[in-house]
Amino acid sequence: MSGTKVTTLRRWKTQRLRAGARAFCPGLGWLDVTSVDVVELNDLTDADAHGDGFDDHAGMMKALEEIYPDHATDGRIWFKVRFAMNPDGAQA
């Protein structure tokens, strides 16, 4: 809610969101999706980790390994979703 988390990493078979979409996050409210990009974990940096609410790349990688233990063989793609808070839910 402080606005420091501006991205999230997701594993999908196909892209589920597009820039310009809105998504509802329980406990937070509406988010405006500003971009959705396919990413490779090895290309992500500490800056990417900070945007996702982590202290550093190593911490983010540890969490991702726990959340997605089979990511190397699950046939899914990494997506980085960038968003902005939209507390009133108004269409952008």
Per-residue pLDDT tens over the stretch 24-56:
888 888 899 999 999 999 899 999 999 999 999
d(CA 16, CA 61): 22
What is the pLDDT, as a whole number, of residue 5? 84
Q: What is the pTM assigned to this prediction? A: 0.86
Count of alpha carbons within 13 angstroms of residue 79, beta-carbon side: 19
* CA pseudo-torsion sign 62, 63, 68, 72: negative
